[in-house]
A and B are shown apart, each in its own frame.
Chain A
Amino acid sequence: MYITRKAEFSASHVCRLAGRSDEENHAIYGEAAHAHGHGHNYIVEVTIQGEPDPLTGMIMDLKELKEILDREIVQPMDHRFLNYEVPPFDTVVPTPENVALEIWRRLDRGLAACGTGRLSRVRLHETADLYVDVERGAALRQ
């Protein structure tokens, strides 16, 4: 069984490779390469897989999930400039793919520590017309 919890954060970023020209960066990242950055209202959907505990009837305590999301994602990223304020984006380009992967790593770690439920999918919406999914293994296809 799966449960999905949503969280939001607003942050700015810029997608550029240091060793490349303006033209090259625009070819790769489009307008996301504008040097001074820009922002998004990111939405993260986190899906947990597990079996409901026979006693509580819950896969995991949603309060706990909310706290992990808050601690690992929202607090460090909300109203920040990802490149300047949120490692590893000082060295890793904060493309939506990389931001989604970093969220996956942080939550996978945070959830493993609390022992219940297992991270199944992270879906990061960068805009209404673009989202990235990070999914555990091919077995979870569908």
Chain B
Amino acid sequence: MNGPALKLTRRYRFAASHRLHSAELSQAENARLYGKCNHPYGHGHDYILEVTVRGELDPETGVLAPLKELDDLVEAKVLKLFRNRNINMDVPQFRELAPTTENVALVIAQILEAAWRDAFGGRGVSLDRVHIQETERNGFELLLDEVVERKKTARLKEVHA
């Protein structure tokens, strides 16, 4: 048995609005499928984003990753993009894609994965998990397996609080 695994989770918050609507469905089908989430002008949430990293402790400093660097990365790549925005209209990744929280979690995980090598490459720390709490009752969690190819290994799991 190896030594215990170490992970660090940081919690961030952003407010944003969205509207669930699929261009491939009729208006009636959209209304039936998404219910009040399809109301024409959208609605907002105070999203809570948890980012979990795992890896080796730096033996000198005793940190997995300097918090400021993690915070700066998430701020620059994610929070700036979403905070106080209309996700459908302001976030380019959602021009075509319905901003369900599953998709928001996937997009955020992909953004962080794409930026990870520049920020933390070669430092023995990897992205482990993205969790979004859309409301107190709806949580969405994505676990990133570092071994296999990124997109394929993102396993989506809905968590009902």
Contact = CB atoms under 8 A, between A and B. Distances in A.
B9 A130 contact: yes
A104 B10 contact: no
A128 B5 CA distance: 22
A93 B62 contact: yes
B61 interface: yes
Contact of A27 (B5, B8, B68): B68
A132 B62 contact: no
Contact of A132 (B1, B8, B66): B8
B61 A95 contact: yes
Interface residues of B, number: 20
Q: Interface on chain A toward B: helix, strand, loop, or mixed SS?
A: mixed
Contacts of A86: none
A27 B66 contact: yes
B67 interface: yes
B6 interface: yes
A137 B2 contact: yes
Contact of A104 (B4, B62, B66, B68): B4
A137 B1 CA distance: 7
